[in-house]
């Protein structure tokens, strides 16, 4: 079997590396030293550079001005973005755009996608529900009102909501099925309450009270929300992988220079074993990520639904990124907590990723339910 990436995917990685090479992780105030959010907006100059390098149109079809690449290419770019803690809604915008492209009406796609590719329209998704523990589609109701729909409910922890032009909101109908609404941020009836993430970024509680949405901005195709949810999760696993790889590289560089008793601490067996364990974590995170991304990209059949592969990726990413940053802090000693050194920022971002993915035990339980429902022959 050939596990190498295509030339187009590798070209996307090189373009991403070039754009992100100028990003400094400590460009904004530290979340450890800032009361409230570290910034009011995301990194707009970086967003413009991403658009200029065609990375915002990477996953859009040619008819919408894009390169027509797949979730694997998106995850490769996200992996690079996490290495520098890029403060842009790349995951949310790209994932929602792909859902619109795959499941939305032609009118909606024509209205949204070309502007997304040019960097003119920012998208985000409400994927956490009312509490972060219940299915997001149950937090909002959608009911018909003439030719339109009315939305009522609350979604918490919506990233970049104050800066996004459209918010993808999952909802349930009276028939019990899930639909997806593309809601303008300034639509009458939409109220945003500021929240601050563990990484110091602005989140929002989004409250909807009789919010009227035209029918063409509703996506009612079966499986649309579930596909978007899995893509958002898989993209978050890609962020965890990129962040973890950068943290392990920082740790390797530090322990190679830091000396005790006349020798670099990297030569001590206890240090080398801990670093090796974290390397194994990263390789497991990588393998399970690409399995999930491949299933999403190809729709290939498997012994379990694609949700099973996503659950396995979440198990490794959630636990793995935590172990990597904890070991890094331990091997850096007191230097790891120094706010003049960027490691504490990576720790905060890793904790945010871990919390957004949820505990590994919950994913193991979900995976067990899938195995029970789909016995392996």
Give the count of beta carbons closer than 10 Å to the beta carbon of residue 192: 17
Cβ–Cβ under 8 Å, residues 240 and 317: yes
CATH of the domain at 211: 2.40.110.10
Spatial contact of 172 and 239, defined as CB atoms under 8 Å apart: no
Same domain, 265 and 203: no
Residues 171/141, Cβ–Cβ less than 8 Å: yes
Query: Which residues of the chain form beta strands (DSSP E)?
Result: 123-125, 140-145, 148-159, 166-172, 178-184, 190-196, 202-214, 218-219, 259-260, 263-264
Q: Does some domain include residue 130?
A: no
pLDDT at 266: 80
Q: Check whether residue 243 and residue 354 sit in a common domain.
A: yes
User: Does 27 fall in a domain?
Assistant: yes
- The CATH code of the domain that includes 49 is 1.10.540.10
The answer to whether position 348 is within a domain reads yes
The total domain count for the chain is 3
| DSSP code per residue over 211-230 | EEEEGGGEE--TTHHHHHHH
Tell me which residue has tokens 């992988």. Answer: 241
Q: How far apart are CA 141 and CA 146, in angstroms?
A: 16
Q: Check whether residue 190 and residue 107 sit in a common domain.
A: no
Q: Are residues 209 and 229 located together in one domain of the fold?
A: no
Residue 328 domain flag: yes
Among 190, 219, 248, identify where a domain stops. Answer: 219
Same domain, 147 and 215: yes
Distance CA 140, CA 209 (A): 10
Instruction: Report yes or no on 126 lying in a domain.
Output: no
Q: Is the pTM of this model over 0.75?
A: yes
Tokens of 156: 């918490």
Asked which of 121, 148, 177 is the last residue of a domain, the reply is 121
CB atoms within 10 A of CB 327: 19
Residue 126 CB partners (closer than 8 Å, separation 6+): 136, 140, 155, 158, 161, 167, 168, 169, 170, 206
Indicate whether 160 belongs to any domain: yes
Could you tell me if 155 and 34 lie in one domain?
Answer: no
Domain assignment of residue 170, yes or no? yes
- Report pLDDT digits (tens) over 294-303: 999 999 998 8
CA 220/CA 263 separation, integer angstroms: 63
Determine, yes or no, domain membership for 325. Answer: yes
CB 294 within 8 A of CB 300: yes
| Residues 229, 343: Cα–Cα separation, whole Å | 30
Residues 340 and 266 in one domain: yes
Residue range of the domain that includes 332? 224-373
Give the three-state DSSP class for 1: coil
Per-residue pLDDT of the chain (377 residues; tens, 9 = 90+): 567 899 999 999 999 999 999 999 988 889 999 999 999 999 999 999 999 999 999 999 999 999 999 999 999 999 999 999 999 999 999 999 999 999 999 999 999 999 999 999 999 999 999 988 889 999 999 999 999 999 999 999 999 999 999 999 999 998 889 999 999 999 999 999 999 999 999 999 999 999 999 999 999 999 999 999 999 999 999 999 999 999 999 999 988 888 688 788 887 888 899 999 999 999 999 999 999 999 999 999 988 999 999 999 999 999 999 999 999 999 998 888 888 899 999 999 999 999 999 988 888 888 899 999 998 76
Full 3-state SS string of 134-163: CCHHHHEEEEEECCEEEEEEEEEEEECCCC
Determine contact, residues 352/198, Cβ cutoff 8 Å: yes
Query: 162 and 234 in one domain?
Result: no
Residue 145 CB-density burial (10 A; 0-12 exposed, 13-18 middle, 19+ buried)? exposed
Contact 341, 247 (CB under 8 A): no
Of 314, 315, 92, 309, residue with least CA distance to 203: 92
CA atoms of 118 and 58, how far apart (whole Å): 11
**191 and 148 co-located in one domain:** yes
Domain boundary among 63, 86, 121: 121
Same domain, 259 and 369: yes
Token pair 């974590």 in the structure block, residue? 281
Q: Please tell me whether residues 247 and 210 are part of one structural domain.
A: no
- Same domain for 88 and 44: yes
Dihedral angle, C-alpha 13, 18, 21, 23, nearest 10 °: -90
């Amino acid at each position: 079997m050939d596990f190498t990436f295509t030339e187009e995917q590798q070209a996307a990685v090189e373009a991403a590396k070039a754009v992100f090479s100028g990003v400094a992780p400590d460009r904004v105030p530290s979340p450890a030293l800032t009361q409230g959010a570290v910034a009011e907006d995301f990194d707009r100059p970086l967003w413009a550079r991403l658009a200029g390098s065609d990375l915002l149109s990477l996953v859009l079809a040619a008819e919408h001005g894009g390169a027509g690449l797949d979730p694997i290419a998106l995850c490769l770019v996200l992996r690079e973005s996490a290495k520098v803690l890029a403060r842009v809604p790349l995951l949310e915008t790209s994932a929602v755009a792909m859902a619109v492209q795959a499941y939305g009406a032609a009118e909606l796609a024509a209205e949204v996608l070309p502007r997304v590719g040019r960097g003119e329209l920012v998208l985000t998704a409400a994927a956490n529900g009312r509490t972060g523990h219940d299915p997001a589609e149950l937090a909002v109701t959608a009911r018909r009102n003439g030719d339109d729909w009315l939305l009522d409910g609350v979604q918490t922890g919506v990233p970049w909501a104050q800066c996004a032009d459209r918010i993808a909101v999952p909802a349930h109908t009276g028939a019990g099925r899930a639909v997806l609404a593309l809601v303008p941020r300034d639509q009458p009836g939409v109220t945003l309450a500021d929240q601050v993430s563990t990484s110091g970024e602005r989140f929002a509680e989004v409250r909807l009270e009789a919010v009227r949405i035209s029918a063409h901005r509703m996506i009612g195709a079966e499986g649309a929300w579930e596909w978007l949810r899995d893509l958002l999760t898989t993209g978050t696993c890609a962020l965890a992988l990129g962040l973890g790889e950068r943290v392990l590289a920082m740790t390797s560089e530090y322990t190679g220079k830091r000396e005790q008793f006349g020798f670099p601490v990297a030569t001590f067996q206890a240090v080398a074993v801990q670093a090796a364990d974290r390397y194994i974590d990263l390789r497991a995170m990588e393998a399970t990520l690409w399995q999930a991304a491949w299933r999403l990209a190809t729709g290939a059949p498997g012994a379990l639904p694609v949700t099973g592969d996503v659950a396995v990726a979440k198990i490794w990413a959630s636990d793995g990124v935590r172990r990597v940053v904890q070991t890094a802090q331990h091997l850096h000693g007191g230097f790891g907590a120094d706010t003049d050194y960027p490691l504490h920022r990576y720790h905060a971002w890793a904790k945010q990723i871990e919390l957004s993915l949820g505990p590994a035990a919950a994913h193991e339980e979900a995976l067990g339910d899938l195995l029970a429902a789909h016995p392996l022959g």
